Structure formats: C-alpha cells, structure tokens
Structure 1
C-alpha cells in the first residue's frame, strides 16, 4: 500500500503550478542525480528537453520552460531566492548557455533545446523527456511523468496512482476512508492522532514539528505578501491584484500598523466579524496566495499550486475568526487531517487537473480543508469525512480551462469559492448525524475518478475548451 506523508501532500515550492512547474523542476533534478549515479554527468555534451501533452499545451503559461531551466541549473525550489528566478532564466536566454547542475556550462538555447509537443504520451497527460548527447555521440534519455502535487514518477499507471517498488510501511496504512475510520474506532482517537503515529514512523516529533512550522510559515508569509503587493499579474492577461485592496479596506486605519505576518494576523483578530466581513477575509486570504502563486512566488502545494489558497484561507479563518487562542498544536492538527484526506483522493483518484479537471485540484483542496476544519471545531472522525465528502460532492465535474494557459482566470477566484464551500461543508457536517449520510467519502472519491475518465480531454488543463477558448487573450 502506498504510504504518503503529510509533507508529501503539502510541499513548499514555486508557482504557478505543482504539476507543470514544480513537477518538471523536480524531474530535472532527478535526471541529474541519475546521470551522476550512472557516472554520465561529466560526459554530457548537449541537452534537449521534450515536453508532451498538457505540459506542452499550457507549458508557457505555467512557466514549464522556466522550471526546466531552473532545475537543470541546480536551483532548488524550496531554497532559491525568488528574485533569482528571472535573473537565472534571463542569463540562460542571453548567454545561450546553462550551468548544468550548477557545475558545468553547456550550450543551451531555450527556443531550440526545449521542444513542445502536442502529442500525449501513453501513461499520463504530463510527460517530459530529458535527452543528453554524450561526448561519444551516444544519446541517453529518461522520461518522467508529473502526476500532480509535485509528485514525479517514471512510469505512471493510468489511474494516476504512484507506482513504487519499495516504500515505507506505516503502522496504520490507509487506502481509503473506511480504513481510516476503522483505525480511529479501534484506537479510540482522532484522525490527526492516527496521522501523527504514522508520521512518527518517518521522523522524530521535533522533525515533524519543524516541518509543520516551515509549511505554516510559508503559508502565512504567502498570504501576507499577497495582501501587501499591488499591481497586475504577469503573463499578458493584465489581471489586477485584488488581495491588497480587500486587505486595506477591511483593516481601514489599522492597515500597515504592524511589521510582521504574525502581527498582521493579530490585527485582523481585532476587526469586525460580521458575515460579509468574514466572506471578504476568507476570499482575501485565498486570493492573496494564488496571486503570489501566479507571479512565480513561493507557496505550499495543498494539494497543488493551482489550489494552494484554499487550505491556508480556511486555516486563517479558524485562527482569526473561530479561535483567537489557537496555537501551533491547532495548526498542526489541521494540516495533519488535511494531508490525510488529500492522500486518500490521490490513492483513489487523482490530484492532477491534467487527468481529472479542476475537481482534482480545487475539489480536493476544499475537501481537505473542510475535513480539517471539522476536526478543529470538535467534529468526530465520521463528521470529518462527511465534511470532506460534502465539499467534493459539490465540485464534481469542475473543468480546468485556464485562459492563455495561465493559472489566473478562473483559477484564482476558484480558490476563494473552494474555501467558502469548505467552511460551509464543515458546518453542514457538524450539524448532521453521519449515520444519516447517503454518500460516504469513498464513494465520492470513486465517483470523482469515474467523472474524470468520462470528461472530455479538452477540459483537462489543455486550454482547448471552456473559458480558455471562450475568452481570448486579446479580449483582456
């Protein structure tokens, strides 16, 4: 059984897309490591990169070419300074060379060495092949598949589950919601505590706490940055950043009376909490994250970059509206539950929009947030899964149709809608008896995957259907 850590579901990386940016970036890093293991790295004379399917059709809008160049240059998406991204790419373009692995300068012209193919490879919509010509003239190539959420595999089964030959075994291996509830009943404990026991089989408690803090720190910083950055997003759509204006209007005279993300959070706690203000704040948090994501900022895949705003927005809602005394333990509890629900969707269906449409991204993130919020609000494990089911049920069939291949329209607003739906789903589950539920979580996961397979390919992150063809770049 595949064992997925919370920190696999919640990865720190660079926007705008986990499958189209972070995945190819990680694939490039992986290829370099494999070349070194085979003692071929020093023999490489020339590099070509071939991008297929959805990666190709929306590659420029998702900065796939940037990700490839950065990955081949040895930059790490977790550590690279944001300001270095454009500088590195510009140097490659102007000098027509790439510092391969950060160690060797090789000739490289992005326009001729990165090849975009409309062809879809057999195993997954997001295929990428790295090809090296050695000094001997022999060519060596490896093909990878970016399957969503920054996960990269060599050969992916058609149902978008990761195929692994050897993997760690959790003390409580979980394939679906039914198994998760069984463990909670047998252990007489919550979902978050089952997740913690599994995580402790991978890392010490101090390591887990450190990783959690880094994830939350990145989420909070991302919201803070988005709420304090004006202007228009890059890419040609001229999308106006809205989080800044919403944040400023809601805070009024208190705007910028703080000097850190933590002080900002506490300032928000002292604002008015009428229903309309709550709606605006939740939308503001979600918009902020995805505006940062759209501008190649650092975000946390949750479970993807395109849906990165839902979970932090709902968690911030809990911190600034529901519980002013909430602390690190509450944040960790929320992230544990969210990560576990996301892994259930990944194992039973997909978190790749190229395979399942936007239901696989915003739908899954909304389900993750709904379940996590439900546990923090005192819900039982059964109510947690009920909330996750409700959230996904009302995203079934959601298409992925980004205008111009950019993760902006309709992607950014969809995060705010997913966050609001998550909160509503949590409240519905808390006011219900799970025994009366007609649709279990596992059934909605199964239905989501069936819907994905029935969905026309043009609605799966290709920019060949829906708003992507209904609205032209020239209209914007």
Structure 2
C-alpha cells in the first residue's frame, strides 16, 4: 500500500456544516468537477448538468444538505469563505428561476428536483458515499466523473489512488502509532515537534503557524457564536438550541463584550467540577449547533464531530490557563497526527465505520493532544488516545431524520468529557503496564467497522433513527 502523507491542514479543514462527508465532500467534488472541465474547455459549452447520489449520500443527503452543497459547489462557491448567511437565499433563487450560474459565470437551466437524483437503493462498491456528475455539451458530447466522499471532507475521484495532499517526502513518515513512537525515541522530539518538522516539507514555518492560528480562530468564533445564538435548528426536528441558555445560566448575569472578556468572566466562576463539566458541554453544544445550522466550522476530523476538539482545547485555555499560542499550536499538531493514524489504519467516515469513526476518533485526537500539553510523555499521549477510542468502540451512527442533530450534538459533549478523562487517566498511569496499544485499538476499530451492519453507518435505517416516532418532512 503506497504511503499517504497527510498534513495538519488535511485533518483540519475550514468548511460549512452540517457534515464533512455529506456536505463538505460533495461540495468540494462539485467544485473539482467544474474546475477540471474549465481547465480544458469553456464552461459556456455546457448546456446541462445532472448529479447522481448513491448509498449513504442518497439516503441521508436531504438531512445533511448534500443537494445544497452540490449546488454551491457547481457555482464554484468556496466553503472556506462564502457568506454562509446567504446560502438559503442562493438556493431560493435557483428554485424560483430554474437557473444556476455554473462556475459562477455560465447560466444554465437547472432544476434541483429533477437534476439531482437520489438513488436510494443503489450503492457503488468502493465507498458508500458516491456522487456522479454528468455534463452535457451544446454539440451533443458529454463528460462524466464519479467522486467518493470518504470522510472528513476528503474526496477521491474514481480511478485515483492517493487522497492526501501533494505527494511529498517527509523526514518522519508515519503510518502507525509505532512509527510515530519510533521517531520520538530516535530523535527525542515530542509528538508535536515531529509533526512540525513534517509540515516544513509542505510550506514555511510562518505559513503553518499562521494557518493553525486561523484554524483556532475559526473554532473560537464558532464556540462564541454558538454560545450566543438562540432558536430552533433547521431541518424539521424542531430541536431547540441549548448552548446560549446554558451560557446565560452559568454566567449569572456577569457581563462582557468580546471573546477574551468572556473567557475572563467564565474563569471568575471558579473550577468546581460540575461547573467545569457544564462549560465543556456548553462549548461542544455550541459548535455542533452551529454546524447543524449550516454554520462555519472546522473538520476535527469531521463536521459531525467538530465540537470535541474545540471544546477540549477551550477547556485547556479557560481552566488550565493555557491561552498561549505555542500550546494551542502544539495541541492541534498532536491531534492531527493521531487523526491521520486512524484515517490510514481504519476510517474517519461514519458511512464506513459508524460514529466510532467520528466522535471516537475526535475524542482520541483530543485526549492525546491534551495529555501532551499537560506535560505527558509521548507514550502517555498515545495511551490517552488509545483509552479514548477503546471506550468508543462500536458506537453507531443513527441520525434521526438524517440530520446531524440527534444524537450527534450530545455525542460531542460525551466525546469531549471522555477525552479529558482519558488524558487524566494516562497522565496518572505508567504506559509500561498498558495492555492495549493505540495500533491495536485502531485495528480493532476497523474490524468492528467491517462487522457493523450498514443500518448503523449513517443510513438512518437503524438505531434511534427508526425508534423515535417523530413526524418529519420527506427526505
């Protein structure tokens, strides 16, 4: 199997909710398809476009906004910078006019109800998340391409082999946890230092630093916005947002005007266990309520699990006085490497592995990162990652109504708390006596994923999705 170099910016992507595999991935696939054509032919030659959604993308695509993401991608809108508040208006214009600006420039007739086809009973063998694009040209010719959204916003075109960033030669190639531990032992470097050296193969140090601080800024903005936005989540479940109410309750009338003042006010409340626990839950709820509302989030490593890592990092900033840039960079670098190990040895796609592949992996990433920046050794950090995943094994993905809301949002709070617990356990333990390695738990997770029924892999065909009698719109 060819070595796949994965950058920190592959694991942490800025995008739009609610799903990295069902929203961000198809969005990026649509942009890739259009831009590939544009490199060869003028888009004005295209008369029509049709999209076919297969497998999990078809079954839960409406709830995940896959159709919306496809249209945004066809218009070449950038998920990292587009105006998220304008998405609904853009969809309304397409619906009312029956037209779409392909690539942002070429007007074509387009009816989402007819031109985006949900093939509920068809799947392609490579991966459950598949989308095919067919473009018809005015001269009668056509071109087609199929893409797979394999989790975390990663996409691969049919026939391609590598899904990582530009193939580079890294000084410390890593596929497994044992590889990482080997390099740490050989060099004496911490995990984040190994990752930092690898990142230099892609870009200058200053660019990596700036990019990581931007990732954290997006996470902070998402937490803060989610903690100050009330209302009901879209999609038909009528789930009430809870983070803002919890934020008000915990602060007891204390005032502030910006993020930094808010952090100071939270600290004034002390560090009582229940108070800290409530805040970690609040941080995670805030992110995933934003995610469910088509807000801007960071894949960590997915959108469905986007609240775990920000919540744990915000816990470190607030309650461990960890608001130093270097500590934040170290956290993100360590977390990303653990995530890449899971991606290479197992999966970060719920459509392949259930929710253990999303919440489980994010909890494992956060646990390792927290253990390291709290002073743990390399082996303690990897032990923390193992503990966190060990206690997520078998977690199913059964979103009610195909929406990333119930049970997804609450699961982020549980993943964050488990990460903190796993970190503490590892810091108080001697890895020499551990019975389970991180590599063993990665393999076990993959074995479990292969044994898991497709009902529990983001299809909404089993679990809570079929046992909660709710009246929902057709999807």
State TM-score, norm by structure 2. 0.97
Residue in 1 aligned with 2:15?
Answer: 13
- Whole-Å Cα distance in 2 between the matches of residues 253 and 30 of structure 1? 49
Residue in 2 aligned with 1:68?
Answer: 70
Residue in 2 aligned with 1:352?
Answer: 349
Residue in 2 aligned with 1:387?
Answer: 384
1:403 lines up with 2:405 in the alignment: no
- Whole-Å Cα distance in 2 between the matches of residues 209 and 475 of structure 1? 45
Residue in 2 aligned with 1:473?
Answer: 470
1:136-191 CA deviation, whole Å, 9 max, x = no partner?
1122110000000000001389xxx9556971121111001001001011111100
Relative to 1, partners in 2 of residues 1:165 and 1:408: Cα closer, same or farther, differing over 3 Å? closer
Residue in 2 aligned with 1:430?
Answer: 427
Contact 2:5/2:165 (<8 A) preserved? no
Q: Secondary structure at the match of 2:131?
A: strand
- Whole-Å Cα distance in 2 between the matches of residues 268 and 163 of structure 1? 41
Q: Secondary structure at the match of 1:474?
A: coil
Q: Secondary structure at the match of 1:185?
A: helix
**Greater CA drift, 290-299 or 32-41:** 32-41
Residue in 2 aligned with 1:143?
Answer: 146
Q: Secondary structure at the match of 1:128?
A: strand
Contact 2:25/2:149 (<8 A) preserved? yes
User: Offset of 1:270 from its aligned partner?
Assistant: 1.9
Structure 2: gaps of 5 or more residues: none
- Whole-Å Cα distance in 2 between the matches of residues 215 and 2 of structure 1? 23
1:335 lines up with 2:337 in the alignment: no
- Whole-Å Cα distance in 2 between the matches of residues 221 and 269 of structure 1? 19
Residue in 1 aligned with 2:374?
Answer: 377
Pairwise mapping of residues 36-435 of structure 1 onto structure 2 (< 5 A)? 36-39=38-41, 41-118=43-120, 119-155=122-158, 162=162, 167-254=167-254, 257-322=255-320, 324=321, 326-435=323-432
Contact 2:35/2:103 (<8 A) preserved? no
What RMSD over aligned residues (CA atoms) do the two structures have, in Å? 1.5
1:9-51 CA deviation, whole Å, 9 max, x = no partner?
0000000000000000000010011101222533211000001
1:282-301 CA deviation, whole Å, 9 max, x = no partner?
00000000000000000000
Contact 2:289/2:409 (<8 A) preserved? yes
- Whole-Å Cα distance in 1 between the matches of residues 402 and 322 of structure 2? 42
Pairwise mapping of residues 26-37 of structure 1 onto structure 2 (< 5 A)? 26-37=28-39
Contact 2:308/2:363 (<8 A) preserved? yes
Q: Secondary structure at the match of 2:63?
A: coil
The alignment covers a number of residue pairs equal to 470
Q: Secondary structure at the match of 1:179?
A: helix
Contact 1:405/1:462 (<8 A) preserved? yes
Contact 2:100/2:107 (<8 A) preserved? yes
Contact 1:303/1:351 (<8 A) preserved? yes
- Whole-Å Cα distance in 2 between the matches of residues 314 and 122 of structure 1? 37
Contact 2:135/2:142 (<8 A) preserved? yes
Contact 1:338/1:369 (<8 A) preserved? yes
Q: Secondary structure at the match of 1:473?
A: coil
Structure 1: gaps of 5 or more residues: none
- Whole-Å Cα distance in 1 between the matches of residues 167 and 86 of structure 2? 35
Relative to 1, partners in 2 of residues 1:279 and 1:325: Cα closer, same or farther, differing over 3 Å? closer
Contact 1:92/1:98 (<8 A) preserved? yes
Relative to 1, partners in 2 of residues 1:403 and 1:79: Cα closer, same or farther, differing over 3 Å? same
- Whole-Å Cα distance in 2 between the matches of residues 292 and 156 of structure 1? 35
- Whole-Å Cα distance in 1 between the matches of residues 429 and 261 of structure 2? 37
Relative to 1, partners in 2 of residues 1:325 and 1:309: Cα closer, same or farther, differing over 3 Å? closer
User: Offset of 1:431 from its aligned partner?
Assistant: 0.7
Q: Secondary structure at the match of 1:370?
A: helix
- Whole-Å Cα distance in 2 between the matches of residues 258 and 196 of structure 1? 36
- Whole-Å Cα distance in 1 between the matches of residues 433 and 123 of structure 2? 44
Relative to 1, partners in 2 of residues 1:163 and 1:231: Cα closer, same or farther, differing over 3 Å? closer
